[in-house]
Amino acid sequence: NRRIVLASRPHGEPADSDFRLETSDVPQPGPGQVLLRTVHLSLDPYMRGRMSDAPSYAEPVQIGQPMVGGTVTRVHASNHPDYQPGEWVLAQSGWQDFAVSDGTGLLRLGANPQHPSYSLGVLGMPGFTGYMGLLDIGRPKAGETVVVAAASGAVGAVVGQIAKIHGCKVVGIAGGADKCRYVVDELGFDDCLDHKAPDLPGRLARAVPQGIDIYFENVGGAVFDAVLPLLNPRARVPVCGLISAYNATSQPDGPDRLALLMRTILTKRLTFQGFIIFNEYAHRYGEFREAMEDLIGQGRIKYREDVVEGLENAPRGLMGLLKGENAGKRIVRVGPD
Ligand code: NDP
């Protein structure tokens, strides 16, 4: 049994030395327990937060403990009446080959799910985040303009495609020409701007001549600075993530723009609402899954995975995700089917 533990808390970008690969005996399930073998591990930006002990909405990973993470697993052995060996199960078993569980928080995916790994992405936590944040907080109406950054990623791709289905004009922002081409040609956004190319504020202003009614906030930083002056009166801003700052060690340079932000919120009567998906919306996961399975089945939602091979490569996979190296939802292939 291999597992990757947190060896030290990173300062800035995580480094190889912040992780350690350990091996141990395969744990044995006790009475009422099930032994799960990981097939796919999700890599997600929030994992950077768990490596830090700064105050947050969730407890940090303790030094020496396995990194946390969503997993798609198979039942390897079971002393639990509800689980049969071979079944697929969505779990939170973290960065390791095997884990025991008493069944709490598990979701059975059946004996033969069509795309097991989709439960870590478009049908799982990130897809749910994009879907609920857009529909419940963004409240899109046909004809409105929606902007989302990290547009080719797990959350952003769902936000933009659902907004298109609701009749919105959708402008994505992504890192690089290849990602932008994918966002427009494959995901069907109206436009996509490369945030690494010069003059994002000017290009964004030209791309949204009617202003912005919904800005789905995934990144913060320079992208938010470009968006703020373009928000329309009564615009909605679901505050989902601020990935540009996850590796930051201090406040950014430059003038304090808090007064500008507050004045803009006041005069334009803006709604900013933060949300942590399962804290707010756990009760609506079933409803989301059903709707999203239908949309995927009808070919109306496209989905791309970016697969890192091998548990030992998970640390590099997470470091790269935080720098935009991923092309779609990043997962780790940990074990065979
Ligand atoms: P992605 O698959 O989108 O991967 C992260 C992407 O972030 C990178 O590919 C990169 O895309 C972009 N990025 C990284 N650094 C910067 C930067 N400095 N400026 C602009 N973009 C940057 O990840 P997810 O879809 O899983 O997550 C997207 C956001 O949603 C994150 O902020 C995450 O924390 C948040 N989230 C929040 C949840 C909640 O409950 N509130 C739940 C799930 C996710 P590019 O190359 O295009 O710039």
CA dihedral of 281, 308, 160, 151, whole degrees rounded to 10: 120
**Cα dist from 234 to 16, 138, 149, 237, 269, whole Å:** 45, 11, 20, 10, 5
If you take atom 31 of ligand 1, which residue's CA is the nearest one?
A: 241
Closest CA to 228 of 251, 255, 198, 205: 205
Which residue has its alpha carbon closest to ligand 1 atom 32?
Answer: 241
- Is the whole model's pTM more than 0.90, yes or no? yes
pLDDT at 337: 87
Q: At what angle do helices 125-132 and 285-297 cross, to 10 degrees?
A: 100
155 lines ligand 1 (CB under 6 A): yes
What number is the average pLDDT over the span 139-168?
98
If you measure from the C-alpha of residue 3 to the centroid of ligand 1, how many angstroms do you get, rounded to a whole number?
A: 25
Give the mean pLDDT of 1-5.
98
CB atoms within 10 A of CB 32: 13
Per-residue b or e along 37-74, where b marks 16 or more CB atoms closer than 10 Å to that residue's CB? bbbbbbbbbbbbbbbbeeeeeeebbeeeebbbbbbbbb
Task: Give the ipTM of the model, two decimals please.
Answer: 0.99
Distance CA 142, CA 45 (A): 31
Q: Name the residue of 122, 193, 243 to mutate for ligand 1: max ligand atoms within 8 A of Cβ.
A: 243
- Confidence band (pLDDT; 50, 70, 90) for 82? very high
Is residue 138 very low, low, confident or very high in pLDDT (cuts 50, 70, 90)? very high
Q: Residue 252 has what pLDDT?
A: 84
259-271 per-position pLDDT tens digit: 999 999 999 999 9
- Cα of 104 from ligand 1 centre, angstroms: 28
Atom in ligand 1 nearest the alpha carbon of residue 222: 19
Q: Is the CB of 145 under 6 A from ligand 1?
A: no
Predicted local distance difference test score (pLDDT) of residue 251: 87
Give the model's pLDDT for residue 265. Answer: 98
**CA 108, CA 106: separation in Å to the nearest integer?**
7
Q: What is the pLDDT of residue 154?
A: 98
Whether the predicted pLDDT of 178 surpasses 90? yes
pLDDT tens across 307-337, in order? 999 999 999 999 999 999 999 999 999 999 8
The CB of 154 under 6 Å from ligand 1? The reply is yes
Pocket test for ligand 1, best of 137, 192, 219 (most atoms within 8 A of CB): 219
Least confident of 54-58, 127-131, 148-152: 54-58
Q: What is the pLDDT of residue 253?
A: 84
Share the mean pLDDT of the chain. Answer: 97
Q: Please indicate whether residue 68, judged by its CB atom, sits closer than 6 Å to ligand 1.
A: no
The amino acid sitting at 103 is: G
| Structure confidence by residue, pLDDT tens digits, 216-261 | 999 999 999 999 999 999 999 999 999 999 999 998 888 899 999 9
What whole-number distance in Å separates Cα of residue 274 and Cα of residue 2? Answer: 36
The answer to whether the CB of 60 falls within 8 A of the CB of 53 is yes
Q: Which candidate, 318, 314, 327, 265, places its Cα nearest to that of 97?
A: 314
Structure tokens at 145: 């303009």
